[in-house]
Each structure stands twice: as structure tokens, then as C-alpha cells.
Amino acid sequence: MLESIMASSTVLLFLLGFLSVLLSSCAAVEVTYDGRAIKIDGERRVLLSGSIHYPRSTAEMWPDLIQKAKDGGLDTIETYVFWNAHEPHRREYDFSGNLDIIRFLKTIKSAGMYAVLRIGPYVCAEWNYGGFPVWLHNMPGIELRTDNEIYKNEMQNFTTKIVDMARQEKLFASQGGPIILAQIENEYGNFISAYGGAGKSYINWCASMAQSLDIGVPWIMCQQPDAPQPMINTCNGWYCDSFTPNSPNSPKMWTENWTGWFKHWGGRDPHRTAEDLAFAVARFFQFGGTFQNYYMYHGGTNFGRTAGGPYISTSYDYDAPLDEYGNLNQPKWGHLKQLHNHLKSMEKTLTYGDISTTNFKDAVTVTKYDFDGTSSCFLGNANSKIDATITFEGNQYTVPAWSVTILSNCKNEVYNTAKVNTQTSVMVKKSNKAEDGPLLTWRWKPDSNKDTSLQGLGTYEVEGILEQKAASNDTSDYLWYMTSVDIDANDPIASKDLTLRVNTSGHALHAYVNGKLVGSQLAEYGSYDFIFEKKVLLDIGSNQISLLSATVGLKNYGVRYDLANYGIASVELVRTMGDETIIKDLSGHKWVYKVGLNGEDKQLYSNVHLHVKWHGSNLPLNRMMMWYKTTFKTPIGKDPVVVDLQGLGKGHAWVNGHSIGRYWPSYLASDTGCSDTCDYRGTYSDRKCNTNCGNPSQRWYHVPRSFLVDDVNTLVLFEEIGGNPTLVNFQTIAVGTACGKAYEGNTLELSCNSGGQTISDIKFASFGDPQGTCTSFKKGSCESENSLAIIQQACIGKESCSIDVSEKTFGSSNCSNGVNKLAVEIIC
Ligand SMILES: *[C@@H]1O[C@H](CO)[C@@H](O)[C@H](O)[C@H]1NC(C)=O
Ligand SMILES: *[C@@H]1O[C@H](CO)[C@@H](O)[C@H](O)[C@H]1NC(C)=O
Ligand SMILES: *[C@@H]1O[C@H](CO)[C@@H](O)[C@H](O)[C@H]1NC(C)=O
Ligand SMILES: *[C@@H]1O[C@H](CO)[C@@H](O)[C@H](O)[C@H]1NC(C)=O
Ligand SMILES: CC(=O)N[C@H]1CO[C@H](CO)[C@@H](O)[C@@H]1O
């Protein structure tokens, strides 16, 4: 009976849900705002948003990522639009595959979520050249991001194209679509002063150009304190509680709340704790915020040459609530989900309520929202050391240092940002069971340049040295600079004791003289220009100098970052005789240029050129400028796939012709600056809570499942500096163990949360006062005897289990003081 009632009500709910989807999919909504909040159809809203950049995953991954964002309590997805990806050559567009922004927006719509479209089109985003196409920079007479007609014309052309595409598909909320807000420019306020008066007129032009596109939803400008009305200026940062918009009619919006930080080659892994992130968000809402966006909610992967720079790694995991592969990053995802649920339940009071604030000593503030007989309270403790005990409206509360407590009806504590009641998942990598053993069979091919670049053969020649962007349009990381120098016997420079001196703006240089490598140099993170000096032996007669310059991601941020130089600036031969130095400057010579590697021209990474012959035996190891190729079987199951590139040097990798990005496992993270423990208290910075010291800064590379075919796949590597591919292997990623800790009175949910996997064993369970942290829990001085048996009964063999943490479940613990806690470690 009960079951059938439930069944029919489920059907009814389903029908209602279906109906509301139908309705919402055609009905236009009106998006407006006032000083308090964004209003949708006249109603003020609390909006919880997360950034997911469509090119940093695959179209096949989008529905799952977006659904997990929705399940995590978000109602909005935010993305930038990546100009240089969409318009690689002027007026030639690419919206295919993971660049299909329309499909991405439609995926958001079908999940029943809103979208924020940050067109920019300057985006920063740790994306190559901040999203600007390099051909744009190379247009004669152009000046980017300022009051320059050529630039403004190109910016307007691209912005209009994106707006028109979205409009045509009815994707703006005013047309019944998901887009509720759009952004023009990006963090320009940080640098506007560098552009003088032209900066001001440019930003005014941006505003009126955007307005003229008449999209029917509001425009925002982030980090733009003087944003012209009606642009809403918004805040980006790790904390935005003290931000105030520049107009009393604009709501307090946080467009980039940094959930963690990005990684660079040679860098450690940054982590931002769930406690600190929840604290920052709760404080923002405590102090009147109503729209907040996680940057990033899913960071993903910098495929191809999209990583910005210099030296941004291929992984863009960002320690976001969804990890690079789309798995839940626990406890961050779950701890925030609970916060979101509380904030949503307070939506009316937060957006319409009267606000009153009471300050206590030691940086404790209580904020009360009252509306229509309901009230909500935040107790915020911004002190980084001292736990506070306060009395508020007759009740006593303890608020841990650096935390915010939410009280329902201003009475009962329902959430505290420092008390995590969500499981911590420890991900493990498993070997590829589809292969017989770990060893792959390799074929190889040198990037045969003996008869080409080393002989000085290129595609064009110019007098003088060109800057690398100007010479290559950034269509490859690699650019050959070649010249010849004649030395006759009477030349004062004719000597065995000569130095080749190259002044380069980076990032890597390989120098060859008369067909032989004389040396290589790679910039260190943080200082990219260097002087290369090496003794060389020149012949009397003609000598060939061939220099290969390589970039590793163009700058994406800074004052006039677009003008930064790359590649070689000058080349000299230097002879020192006692006090005398003779310099022969070759910079003004005739130089021959070639963009890209021979193997790139021949597309050795793709499966299409089957006639190319690869060598099978005598696999060369630790040899520069080498292409390697192997095949592998698709790992069984649905878990995300990674390739372990340990042993390799630096280069680029492709699977079945799809770039999985640059690799550089030989670049180790510094061996200092990590800590085993991580105190969430105190202002976060990207130097806090680092891990992975002394290890390859990135050893594993994501291979999206959609890049794989049913049986046999091809992996191609271009190895620039020399490495050993024999240890390369494929792995899958899943939850290995998970730990949960919860205080009495909460419910602890435990799950293996990947593809139907069940809980196989319980490694630890104690209800009482358990000590330690995940994977090293220990019993405390007291516990309920049946803790382990009860958890085994409830969880083993299940995909997930939910435990009411109380003496009702476990019987009495014999703890004499304090609240009981439960700690569990499960094995998946
Ligand atoms: C963009 O420029 C092209 C010419 O390069 C022109 O045909 C097109 O109409 C322009 N689009 C807009 C929206 O101005
Ligand atoms: C770079 O692109 C511009 C504009 O498309 C073109 O005129 C120029 O020839 C290109 N330069 C090189 C070196 O390919
Ligand atoms: C290297 O070249 C850059 C760019 O031309 C110049 O600013 C710098 O002074 C040069 N460095 C040396 C040591 O000559
Ligand atoms: C609680 O009980 C356990 C055995 O169940 C015992 O070992 C422990 O000493 C007791 N602790 C206290 C504080 O009574
Ligand atoms: C608005 C805001 O909080 N900006 C901060 C972002 O983070 C940087 C780096 O820590 C700070 O310098 C900014 O003040």
C-alpha cells in the first residue's frame, strides 16, 4: 500500500517536473537587479554559480560535470569564451568538438540551470595569451585593450558573432534560454591606469558596445571599480566579504571565488581546504552577498597548446570541487553542498530581510536577517587563532576560530564551516587490466632535421632577428632561427676560443653549429629571459648556426602582457683575448626562419599518414628531438584514464591524434615548502597547504574516454630534451579509500562514488572520541563497543550508506566529556 502510494506520487512528481522543464524551456524570464540581488521575474535570488570552461573537458564529459554541479547545490554555470580557440585564423572559425559552445550552453539548459557568459574577449584564465589570437597582435597599427580603432573593430566583430550565435539559438534568458548575465572585458580595473585616458574611453566604449548588442539580460564587469552604469561591477578573489559595488543599485556579486589555485611546471600542488573555502563563502553571504561563483568548480585540462603562461601546467585541476577528471573532490564538494542547501533555504530572508549586525570582541560578528517572521543568523569568527564563546539572544554558542556558524531561526546551529561532516575520498590509480603486462612496445623516429634546419633550410628569410610571436603567429611552440657566418683566416674572430652568445626572452633554446648540438638551456619558472653562452669551434669558411627556440605558453596576465617578447633577441660571437673582447654581432645578418618541427609538418601525431616509416628496434633512450609511438588497449570500465609519463623529459603527447597537452615530468617541484598538516585558519594564499614536493610537478596526464576507440589506441610522444618511454603506462582513477568523521547529531554519508563500485571493507570505525586523520585514525580513550560491527552491517556490499551519528545507532559510548564523534574509513 505504502509502496504504491509512493510509486504514484513519484509518477506525479515526475510529470510535474517534466511539465516545469517544458515550461522553463520556452518561457522567457526577465533578469533585472537592484542593490540587493539579481532578480529573476521580479524575485530577488540567491545565485550559486560555478565555473566550468568547456574546452578544458570534452563534450562527452559536460552532462556529467554539469549534473554534479547541480547535485552539489549550484544553479548556475559560468564560462569564459575563448577567442583564440574559436578564431585561430582571422575570420576562420572553429566551434567543433569541445569548442561547441552552443552545445555546452544547451547542456546547461537541459540540466535546468542558468548560465553566465563571460565573453571578455580578453579572458586571462591561465589560457594561452589570455585568449587573444596572436594574429590579432600582429595586425599593423593595432594596440590591444585600449582605445584603438583596429582593435575595437576586431573585438566588436568577435563579441557580436558570439552574441548572434547565442541569440539565434534563443539562449538568452530574455528568449527563454539559460544565459542570465554576460560579461564584457575582464579585470581591466587592475591595469586601467597604465592606459591613461585611453583606458577610460576604452572601458566606456566597451560598455556602450555591449549595451548596443541588446541581449535583454544585464552585463557585468569584474574588477572594474569605475564600471560605467548600467554595467554591474563585481569582485574576484579568495575573499570578497568586504567588497562594495560602485552603485547602490548594483548587487554585491562575487564572480571569481578562487577554490584553490593553478599549478605551473616546477610548482608544488596547491590546496585550499574545504573549511576555508566554506568560510569565505559563508562570510560573503553574511555580509550581504547574493551571487557567488566558484572559480573553478571544475578546472579540467589544458589540452593542446592552450595552457597560458609562462609555464602553466597541462593539468588545470585547481583543487576544485570536481577534480580534473570530473570526480567529486571530497570533502570539498560535499561540505559546500551542505552550505548551499542552507543558503538556498534562507533565500527569502537573505534577499528581502532586514539586516542587523552585532559586533563582539576578537573579530566576532553576528548578522541577523529578518523577514516576514522568519530569521536567519550568521555567527562569524574572523579571528585566526581564538575560538569564541558568545551569548546571543539568551543562548550560548562556541564559534571556532576562522569559521561561520549558521543558525536556523537564529537558534539552532545547523552548519559550521569548520566542522566537516562529509567524507574525505582518497583517489587511487589502478593499472590497465586490458593489457597483459605493464610494458608497451615502442617505435621511434627522429625529428629528422639533419637535411633541413641544421643545413639552414627554412621557409622564409629576413634581415635581422624577429620576435617569436611576430615570426610564427604562435602556430607552434617551436621556431628555427638559422644563419650562416663566413670566417676567413685573417678575421680577428678566427679562433678556436670563441663563445656563442644568445640573448633570448625564452623559454627554451637548443643551439646547433655546423650540424652539431652545442648546448641547450631552459628557463626556470619566474625568470624566462636568459643569456646562453657556450664555447664553439668554427671552421675557416662557411659555418651554419641553427637555433631552435621553444615557448611554453604565452603570458595571460599583467600590465600590457600582450607586448611581452618571446624567442631570440640577439646573437653574437665573442672572442676574449686578455683584456680585449671582440664581438661579432650576427643579429643584423640574413636569418632564415622555419616555424614548427618537421614531425609537426608531417603530422606524425595523427593516424592519417600511414606511409610514414617508424623504426622498430634499438629504441633510443634519452635522445633529444625524438618521436615515439606505441599502441595500447582501452582500459575496461568507466573510470577516468590517465597516462603515467614518468621517465620522460619535456614534450607533447597525443592519443589517437588528439592532443592531451604538453608534458614535462622531468621538471620537479621544489623539495621545500610542503607541509604534512594544513591549518585552515588564517588568510589563504597559494603557498599554503602545498604538497608534492620533490616529485615531478605533473606525472599523470588525462586521456578523456572519448579520445579512446573500442580496441587498440595509439599514443605518440614528441620528446624535446630526452627521456625514457619504457616506464610509460596507462591507469584508471577511482576512489580507493574514503574516510568520514561526523559529530553526534549529524548524518554521515559514505560512498565509493565511482561507477557502481561497492564498499568492500571497513578499515576503521569508532564512535566515541576517535583521534587522528584520514588513513591514520586511532581509537581514543572511549568508544561504543559495537562501532565496527554496526558500520560493517550498514555499509559492506553497498554503493553508499548513510549513518545516523547518535547513541541511538551505536549505543552508549562511555565517554565522560564532550560530544561523541564518529570516524570511519572504508575501502572501495
Ligand atoms: C566581421 O568582419 C567581417 C569582415 O572581415 C564582416 O564580413 C562581418 O560582417 C563583420 N561582422 C560584424 C558583426 O561586424
Ligand atoms: C601571421 O598572420 C598574418 C595575418 O593572418 C599573416 O599576414 C602573416 O603572414 C602571418 N605570419 C607568419 C609568419 O605566418
Ligand atoms: C637582451 O635583449 C633584451 C631585448 O632586446 C634587452 O632588453 C636586454 O638588455 C638584453 N640583455 C643583455 C644582457 O644584453
Ligand atoms: C571505555 O570502555 C572501554 C572498553 O569498552 C575501556 O577499554 C575503556 O577503558 C573505557 N574508558 C573509559 C573512559 O571508561
Ligand atoms: C578582490 C580580492 O580579494 N582580491 C585579492 C585577490 O587575491 C590577490 C592575491 O592574494 C590579492 O592581492 C587581492 O587583493
Contact 531 CB / ligand 3 (< 6 Å): yes
Cβ of residue 160 lying under 6 Å from some atom of ligand 1? yes
| Domain-ending residue, one of 690, 712, 732 | 732
Confidence of residue 26 (pLDDT cuts 50, 70, 90): low
| DSSP conformational letter for 277 | H
- The CB of 782 under 6 Å from ligand 4? The reply is yes
Spatial separation of the C-alpha atoms in residues 215 and 173, rounded to whole Å: 9
Whole-angstrom distance between the N-terminal and C-terminal Cα of the chain? 36
Query: Measured from the CB, is residue 239 less than 6 Å from ligand 5?
Result: yes
Q: For ligand 5, say whether the CB of 240 is within 6 Å of any of its atoms.
A: yes
Is the distance from CB of 542 to CB of 514 less than 8 angstroms?
no
Nearest CA residue ID for atom 13, ligand 4:
782
Q: Tell me, what CATH number does 396's domain have?
A: 2.60.40
Of 245-249, 402-406, 525-529, 699-703, which gets the smallest average pLDDT?
Answer: 245-249
Q: What is the distance, to the nearest Å, from the Cα of residue 806 to the centroid of all Cα atoms in its chain?
A: 40
What's the 755 CA to ligand 3 centre distance in angstroms?
56
Is the CB of residue 253 below 6 angstroms from any atom belonging to ligand 5? no
**What one-character-per-residue DSSP string does 76-128 give?**
EEEEE--HHHH-SBTTB----GGG-HHHHHHHHHHTT-EEEEEEES---TTBG
Q: Mind listing the pLDDT tens digit for each residue in 647-692?
A: 999 999 999 999 999 999 999 999 999 988 899 999 999 899 999 9
Question: What confidence category does residue 610 fall into, taking pLDDT thresholds of 50, 70 and 90?
Answer: low
**Distance (Å) of CA 428 to CA 431, 666, 733:** 10, 22, 6
Predicted confidence (pLDDT) at residue 410 exceeds the cutoff of 80: yes
Q: Assess contact for 166 and 102: CB atoms under 8 A.
A: yes
Residue 667 Cβ inside 6 Å of ligand 5? The answer reads no
225 and 260 co-located in one domain = yes
Ligand 3 atom showing the smallest separation from residue 503 Cα: 1
Q: Is residue 15 part of a domain?
A: no
pLDDT of 395 > 50? The answer is yes
Evaluate whether residue 380 is within a structural domain.
Answer: yes
Task: Find the 183 Cα to ligand 5 centroid distance in Å.
Answer: 20
CA pair distance 767, 821, nearest whole angstrom:
6
Q: How many residues does the chain have?
A: 828
CA atoms of 187 and 200, how far apart (whole Å):
14
Is 710 in the same domain as 789?
no
Name the residue of 157, 159, 168 to mutate for ligand 1: max ligand atoms within 8 A of Cβ: 157
Q: At residue 17, does pLDDT exceed 80?
A: no
Task: Judge whether residue 581 has pLDDT over 70.
Answer: yes
What DSSP letter does each residue of 426-475 carry, written as one string? EEEEEE-TTSSSSPPPEEEEE---TTTGGGT--SEEEESPPPHHHHHTTS
- Answer yes or no: do 553 and 618 share one domain: no
- Mutation pick for ligand 4 pocket among 781, 784, 820 (CB with most ligand atoms within 8 Å): 781
Q: Whose CA is nearest to atom 6 of ligand 3?
A: 569
The residue nearest atom 9 of ligand 1, judged by CA position, is: 157
State which of 20-34, 99-113, 488-502 shows the largest mean pLDDT. 99-113
User: Residues 680-728: pLDDT tens digits?
Assistant: 999 999 899 999 999 999 999 999 999 999 889 999 999 999 999 999 9
Q: Ligand 4, closest atom to CA 768?
A: 1
Mutate to test the pocket of ligand 3, among 499, 529, 563 (most ligand atoms within 8 A of CB): 529
Ligand 4 in contact with 812 (CB < 6 A)?
Answer: no
**Which residue's CA is the closest to the ligand 3 atom numbered 3?**
569
Instruction: Look at ligand 4, atom 6, and give the residue with the nearest C-alpha.
Output: 782
CA 740-743-748 angle, to 5 degrees, is 40
279-314 pLDDT, tens per residue? Answer: 999 999 999 999 999 999 999 999 999 999 999 999
* Distance of alpha carbon 732 from alpha carbon 717, whole angstroms: 20
Q: Using the predicted structure, report yes or no on whether residue 367 has a pLDDT greater than 70.
A: yes
8-state DSSP, 713: E
If residue 291 lies in a helix (H) or strand (E), which one and from where to where? Answer: strand 291-298
Are 308 and 555 spatial neighbours (Cβ–Cβ below 8 Å)?
yes
Instruction: With respect to residue 69, please indicate whether it lies within any of the assigned structural domains.
Output: yes
Cβ neighbours of 323 (radius 10 Å): 24
In the β-sheet with 580-585, what is the strand arrangement from edge to edge? 530-536, 498-504, 568-577, 580-585
* Cα 813 to ligand 4 centre (Å): 8
Ligand nearest to the CA of 240: 5
Name the pLDDT band for 9 (thresholds 50, 70, 90): very low
Helix locations, 301-357, DSSP H: 332-345, 347-352
Which of 711, 732, 753 represents a domain boundary (last residue)? 732
The answer to whether 737 and 828 are in contact (CB under 8 A) is yes
- Identify whether 346 is part of a domain: no
Of the bound ligands, which one is closest to the alpha carbon of residue 583? 3
Judged by its nearest atom, the ligand closest to the C-alpha of residue 817 is 4
Is 543 close to ligand 1, i.e. is its CB under 6 Å away? no
> Taking the CB of residue 574, how many other CB atoms lie within 10 A of it?
17
How many domains does the chain divide into?
5
Radius of gyration of the chain (CA): 30
91 CB within 6 A, ligand 1 = yes
Domain boundary among 698, 732, 766: 732
Q: How far is the CA of 473 from the centre of ligand 2 (A)?
A: 6
Which residues are CB-neighbours of 79 under 8 A, at least 6 positions away? Answer: 51, 52, 53, 54, 101, 104, 115, 116, 117, 118
Testing ligand 2's pocket by substitution, the residue of 92, 138, 549 carrying the most ligand atoms inside 8 A of its CB is 138
Task: State the sign of the Cα–Cα–Cα–Cα dihedral 675, 676, 681, 684.
Answer: positive
- 393 tagged catalytic: no
Distance 515 CA to ligand 2 centre (A): 29
Give the pLDDT score at 497: 81
Q: Does 1 have pLDDT greater than 70?
A: no
Using the atom order of ligand 1, give the atom closest to the CA of residue 161. Answer: 13
pLDDT band at 491 (very low <50, low <70, confident <90, very high): confident
Q: Is the model's pLDDT at 769 over the cut of 80?
A: yes
Residue 695 lies in a domain: yes
Whole-number percent of the chain with pLDDT over 70: 96
pLDDT tier at 450, thresholds 50, 70, 90: confident
Distance CA 524, CA 445 (A): 29
Tell whether 160 and 243 lie within a shared domain: yes
Question: Is residue 335 a part of any domain in this protein?
Answer: no
Tens-digit pLDDT profile for residues 515-529 = 999 999 999 999 999
Q: What is the mean pLDDT of residues 430-454?
A: 90
**Ligand 2 centroid – CA 138 distance (Å):** 7
- Give the mean pLDDT of 617-628: 97
**Over 60: is that where the pLDDT of 15 sits?**
no
Q: Which residue lies with its CA nearest to atom 12 of ligand 5?
A: 237
Residues 810, 754 share a domain? yes
187 given a catalytic annotation: yes
Question: Whose Cα sits closest to atom 8 in ligand 4?
Answer: 782
pLDDT at 11: 43
Written as nine digits, the cell of 766 is: 569508532
* 4 band by pLDDT with thresholds 50, 70 and 90: very low
Cis, bond preceding 665 (omega within 30 deg of 0):
no
CATH number at residue 38: 3.20.20.80
pTM: 0.93
Q: Which domain holds residue 787?
A: 744-827
Of 87, 126, 256, 324, which residue is the catalytic one? Answer: 256
User: pLDDT averaged over the chain?
Assistant: 93
Q: Mean of the pLDDT values across residues 592-608?
A: 93
370 is a domain residue: yes
Give 448's pLDDT tier (boundaries 50, 70, 90). Answer: confident
Predicted confidence (pLDDT) at residue 104 exceeds the cutoff of 80: yes
Span 526-539, mean pLDDT?
95
Percentage of the chain beyond pLDDT 90 is: 83
105 and 241 fall within a common domain: yes
What is the structure's pLDDT at 788? Answer: 96
Whether residues 114 and 191 share a domain: the answer is yes
Assess whether pLDDT exceeds 90 at residue 492.
no
Asked if residue 688 and residue 583 are part of one domain, the reply reads no
Mean pLDDT of 274-282: 96
Is 280 close to ligand 5, i.e. is its CB under 6 Å away?
Answer: no
Residue 757 is predicted with a pLDDT of 87
* Interacting residues of 597 by C-beta distance below 8 A, sequence separation 6+: 447, 449, 476, 478, 625, 718
Q: Determine the atom of ligand 2 nearest the C-alpha atom of 593.
A: 13
Find out whether the beta carbon of 235 lies less than 6 Å from any atom of ligand 5. Answer: yes
461 and 505 housed in the same domain = yes
Decide: 295 and 234 in contact? Cβ < 8 Å.
no
Residue 85 domain flag: yes
- Indicate if the pLDDT at residue 6 is higher than 50: no
The pLDDT of residue 25 is: 52
CB 570 within 8 A of CB 516: no
Q: Do 310 and 228 share a structural domain?
A: yes
On whether both 158 and 70 belong to a single domain, the answer is: yes
115 and 253 fall within a common domain: yes
Check 187, 719, 783, 825 and give the catalytic one.
187
- Residue-wise pLDDT for 340-360, tens only, equals 999 999 999 999 999 999 999
How confident is the model at residue 21, as a pLDDT? Answer: 47
